A and B are shown apart, each in its own frame.
Chain A
């Protein structure tokens, strides 16, 4: 069974640009969450999608957005990039049963904003 796949693995962008990251969940998983990981703040929740609907959202500015497609693949977009957006972006998928279950993480996309 293939794991969670994130593309691209690395990105270098300039301030002011926008970026789109992609996440393919484990087959059958309909919940996809996104997290930002930085050395100082640890893992911070961005948002969660389930069956193409955003179910929950973290405390990030509106420049961060996402969506989920009918095949459960998800994308997140960051517009007007700032230096502080440099981080490892992780997505996680899970088999939602009404009870929280194990979240399987992808390898992440390392975004560097210069």
Chain B
């Protein structure tokens, strides 16, 4: 079955710096890659997603890149702010079999120091 590895598990940056989180997946049939942000005590919320027919997607300070050949995708946050502090999860999914199953990485705890 699908396996998603996420690194690093913790990341500490200074306000204004960039943060990069990397994930690798194992199932070549995966074609949807969302990123979720979970603040302490709150529900995971989608921040950006990318499909396998796209190599890069950007939304303001957040960008995601996908390398299908290497089976890895990354989240880039620029000009980090203290409110970016949270746990970030990457996930992979395939439409084969017609299912919404998401396989998540174990998460990255991002701390942005003022």
Q: Are B46's CB and A103's CB within 8 A?
A: yes
Tell me what chain B mostly uses at the interface: helix, strand, loop, or mixed. loop
A residues sitting closer than 8 Å to B (CB atoms) are 4, 31, 33, 35, 41-45, 48, 50, 55-56, 58-59, 90, 92, 94, 96, 98-108
Q: Are B105's CB and A33's CB within 8 A?
A: no
**Interface pairs (8), CB distance under 8 Å:** A33-B101, A33-B102, A42-B107, A50-B98, A55-B98, A96-B100, A100-B31, A103-B34
B residues near A104, Cβ cutoff 8 Å: 46
A105 to B51, CA, bound (A): 20
Query: In the complex, which residue of chain B has the Cβ closest to the Cβ of A97?
Result: B95
State whether A108 and B98 are in contact (beta carbons under 8 Å apart), knowing that A41-B106, A102-B49 are contacts in the complex: no
Supply 5 further A-B pairs (C-beta < 8 A) apart from A48-B100, A58-B101, A100-B95.
A42-B107, A43-B89, A55-B97, A100-B100, A105-B44
A55 to B102, CA, bound (A): 13
Q: Are A90's CB and B44's CB within 8 A?
A: yes
Query: In the complex, which residue of chain A has the Cβ closest to the Cβ of B92?
Result: A100
Q: Does B80 contact A (CB under 8 A)?
A: no
Q: Are A56's CB and B99's CB within 8 A?
A: yes
Query: Among the interface residues B32, B101, B106, which one has the most CB atoms of the partner chain A within 10 A?
Result: B101
Q: Are A43's CB and B32's CB within 8 A?
A: no
Q: Are B95's CB and A99's CB within 8 A?
A: yes
Q: Are A42's CB and B105's CB within 8 A?
A: yes
